[in-house]
Amino acid sequence: MNEAIRSIKKLNTNLTNNQKEIEQVFSCCQDVNFQDWQYGASFQYEALSIYCASLASYTTHLLQQALEHVAAYTSEKWDSITPEKLEVCMSRSNTALQPFVVLDEYDKILEFVMNGYIVILFDQIGKALAFESGSTAQRQVTEPVNEPAVHGPREGTVENMATNLGMIRQRLRTPDFKVEFLQVGKVIKNKIGFGYLNQVVNPSVLLEFRKRLASIVDYEVLETSYIEDWIEESTLTPFPQVRYTERTDSATAALLDGKIIVLVENSPMIMICPALLVDFMGTAEDYYIRSVFATFIRFLRLLAFIIALTLPSIYIALSTFHPELIPTVLLLAIVDSREGIPFPAFVEALVMEISFELLREAGIRLPRTVGSAVSIVGALVIGQAAIMAKIASPFMVIVVALTGIASFAIPHYDMAIALRILRFPYMIAASMLGGYGLMVVFLLTLLHLTCLQPLGEPYLSSLAPFKIRDLRDIFVRVPLKTMLKSPRNRRLHRSGNKG
């Protein structure tokens, strides 16, 4: 903020001086407009409106509307209001001027203007009125792009925090749903909101969350994902410790499960924390379809998880170190397909995996109209060309393709990225020690997961310590009527809104 404004905290009664001070701060801000007004019986009194044209929808009747509020309070006509009467009204009762806000400090005026308010200053009065006249166009509520569902609600979050909180409030109509706000940054002064369900959230988790969030106050936060570094237990692990959603029903379900949700103004993503390993295996739609279908799909996701993580490394280990474990007919087919390949299985798999990852990233970054076509055609062309050039065997192309398809079946993007990263250490270990290397890396991964505790919650909760009762909403989704009989099982609400 400008030093001239810092040295003068309060407005003075001279409108010209106030205007000069504020214009000095907004110099070169050509979207900030200053509009002169006159009011009174003979239009002998001066007023000034300040607003940011790119944030506020200006109305020419704003001053008259403000004076009408004062006139209603003083039982007089609006054109007979004097500065003295206006100041008395502003000093005695702020409720009489609703929906206007009374301001008397320079920094507050700057803050309200930058938040889309229209501020009116008056000559002979050391106070100003702020009114939220409107805002720029915003994206309407539509179906979530990254979390489509066949059954269930279609509303997705937008870039307006109030709209997102309103949609969640419609589902949680209880005062136990607590929402707290925090302003962060010295320049952008963005607003962060976090919510939790009282009596359901773990008090120790909430205390640790507040402690970590308090350390972000001085940083410029533009998007919800910026907060992740402060919330997560370790920034070096590939495993995500928070999860994101665009579905308000998923956010509501997380609250019912004792989670904390985080929203940032101008960001459509809702962060849910802490996130455990089992949270990444479910979707909101699991609770909108029959239990038999949901269970079958969950086992498919579990199979996809294993394939995406280990299939290339298993192929390398079997073909390089343990060919005796492969059926004879299949082994002969693999040997025949690898005839003429100049590279070992590890180099072959590494080249194909890197090529597939490049195609995947290209398909994401390109415009949607051509991205999918480029990724599909590119994969077909490169795969066929690699086989024809004897750079890769047909079996390796099949293995890489199955691995890629399995990673697409993981419902949460962050977990899919973690598997893509971990796949390479597994491949290196398999190329060096075969099955023994795979076992060593698997045990190290398991040890790492047992040590991970986001916000104090064990990452493997519901899996370790092992309890059969907890598995009925992880791999198997039992009928809802069975789950609803037990109030102890709050994990009913992990991934979807059950009403």
pLDDT tens readout for residues 371-413: 666 666 677 777 788 888 888 888 898 999 899 899 989 989 8
Question: Is the pLDDT reported for residue 295 higher than 70?
Answer: yes
Question: Is the pLDDT reported for residue 232 higher than 50?
Answer: yes
| Residue with more model confidence, 370 or 260 | 260
Global model pTM greater than 0.85: no
The rounded distance, in Å, linking the Cα atoms of 483 and 257 is: 14
Question: Is the pLDDT reported for residue 97 higher than 90?
Answer: no
Q: What is the pLDDT of residue 358?
A: 84
Query: Strand pairing of 260-264 and 270-273?
Result: antiparallel
Identify which of 2-11, 70-79, 81-90, 280-289 has the greatest average pLDDT: 280-289
243: how many CB neighbours lie within 10 A of its CB? 22
The rounded distance, in Å, linking the Cα atoms of 108 and 189 is: 12
Is 126 exposed, middle or buried (CB count within 10 Å of its CB: 0-12, 13-18, 19+)?
A: middle
Q: What is the pLDDT of residue 245?
A: 93
Question: Is the pLDDT reported for residue 68 higher than 50?
Answer: yes
Q: What is the pLDDT of residue 79?
A: 67
When pLDDT is averaged across residues 235-253 and rounded to a whole number, the result is 92
Assess contact for 185 and 227: CB atoms under 8 A: no
What is the H or E stretch that residue 291 is in?
Answer: helix 291-320
Question: Is the pLDDT reported for residue 182 higher than 80?
Answer: yes
Assess contact for 153 and 174: CB atoms under 8 A: no
